Amino acid sequence: MSKYDPLWEYIRKHEPEMITFDEVEAVCGIPLDHAFLTFKKELPAYGFRVGNISMKEKTIRIEKL
């Protein structure tokens, strides 16, 4: 089980086009960290992929496959 599984389930259910770093923390119960770059490879199994990650705006674009 991945520490980001709750986020992947949230994305699968709600299909957001964008999610903020704060939303990630609220859904997962942990702050977004550098490991996210490795774990984002799990998201295609849920029918989505991570698009652009904006460190300035603190947002993550989510794209449906």
Rounded CA-CA distance 47/26 in Å is 22
Query: Which residue type occupies 45?
Result: A
- Model confidence at 1, pLDDT cuts 50, 70, 90, reads confident
What is residue 4's DSSP assignment?
T
Rounded CA-CA distance 27/4 in Å is 9
pLDDT digits (tens, 9 = 90+) for 14-50: 999 999 999 999 999 999 999 999 999 999 999 999 9
Helix (H/G/I), strand (E/B), else coil: 65: coil
Q: Scanning the structure block, which residue is given the tokens 């991945």?
A: 2
